[in-house]
Amino acid sequence: MSGKLWIVGLGPGDAAMQTPQATEALAQATDLVGYFPYVDRVAQAPGQVRHASDNREELDRARLALTLASQGRAVAVVSSGDAGVFAMASAVFEAIDQGDPAWRELDVEVVAGISAMFAAAARIGAFLGHDFCAISLSDNLKPWKLVLRRLRAAAETGLVMALYNPLSRARPWQLSEAFGVLRESLPPHTPVVFATAVSRPEEQIHVFDLAAADPARADMRTLVMVGTAATRRIERPGRSPWVYTPRFAEDAASS
């Protein structure tokens, strides 16, 4: 098989945060495949065919990309952020695992990108300065009980959290229930970040105390990050505070 498949992380949105490796792959691709707002982010190259599709069709999109590559095309599947973080890379490998054995002979290259959580943490200081985790709150692909077990474990062991897909129209109550669980073990002053469209013109980043964090301020595009008992604000006169998690930690449970 002579086709090529790149799975490309575009970064959070600002072209200055897209790697040269990603830019080069996009320039070489004969076909772009992806969720339409991400495909729209890529400058049109002459002769390049664009296959934009709706959300929640990851496996179909992966199979289309693999089929095109197996026909000899040079295909770039595009994701926002990093291609391997709640994005298209795992869907493509699932499709390969379950699909045509010939797909295993394709030249597949995953191109890493700047994830939303790294970009958001950088904008406000060093929020992920210590051990951390990334959890999707969506229960489309896993039981909600498991999400809650993970949130409890992260809060009880002091991991900073990046919460992806915090809610949707079909499950508007999830972030609220998640905050309820986190409030059982984290102090009321724990910083919570709501970050939307980081690095893009419409960027919005707000920091609240966990006690006052209002789930209604988030939508499906919001990344929510929750600190630990040790996460600190640095107040600045006339400007928004920096927020960081120190590198050192004590073991509250064993003291």
Which residues 47-76 are close enough to bind a second copy by CB under 8 A?
58
Closest separation between CB of residue 141 and a second copy, Å? 4
Distance, C-alpha 237 to centroid of its chain: 32
- What is the DSSP code (8-state) at residue 19? -
15 binds a second copy (CB under 8 A): yes
244 in contact with a second copy (CB under 8 A): yes
Among 5, 64, 76, 83, binds a second copy (CB under 8 A): 83
**Contact, 127 vs 241, CB < 8 A?**
no
CA neighbor of 60 nearest in space, from 8, 99, 26, 110: 99
In the β-sheet with 239-244, what is the strand arrangement from edge to edge? 125-126, 239-244, 232-236
When binding is defined by CB under 8 A, the residue of 29, 135, 193, 224 that contacts a second copy is 135
Residues 166-225 that bind a second copy (CB under 8 A): none
Q: Which of 27, 45, 49, 146 binds a second copy (CB under 8 A)?
A: 146
Measured from the CB atom, the residue of 35 and 86 that comes closer to a second copy is 86
Count of residues that interact with a second copy, criterion CB under 8 A: 80
Shortest Cβ 255–a second copy spacing (Å): 9
For residue 155, give every residue at least 6 positions away whose Cβ sits within 8 Å of its Cβ, in sequence order, or none: 161, 181, 182, 184, 185, 186, 226
Which position among 64, 65, 76, 114 is part of the footprint of a second copy (CB under 8 A)? Answer: 114
**CB-wise, 16 or 216, nearer to a second copy?**
16
Q: According to the binding rule CB under 8 A, does residue 254 interact with a second copy?
A: yes
Nearest CB to a second copy, comparing residues 20 and 47? 20
**Which of 203, 121, 216, 124 lies closest to 162 in space, CA to CA?**
121
Both tokens of 238, joined, read 């006339």
Of residues 38, 66, 123, 191, which one binds a second copy by CB under 8 A? Answer: 123
The span from the CA of 113 to the CA of 254, in Å, is: 38
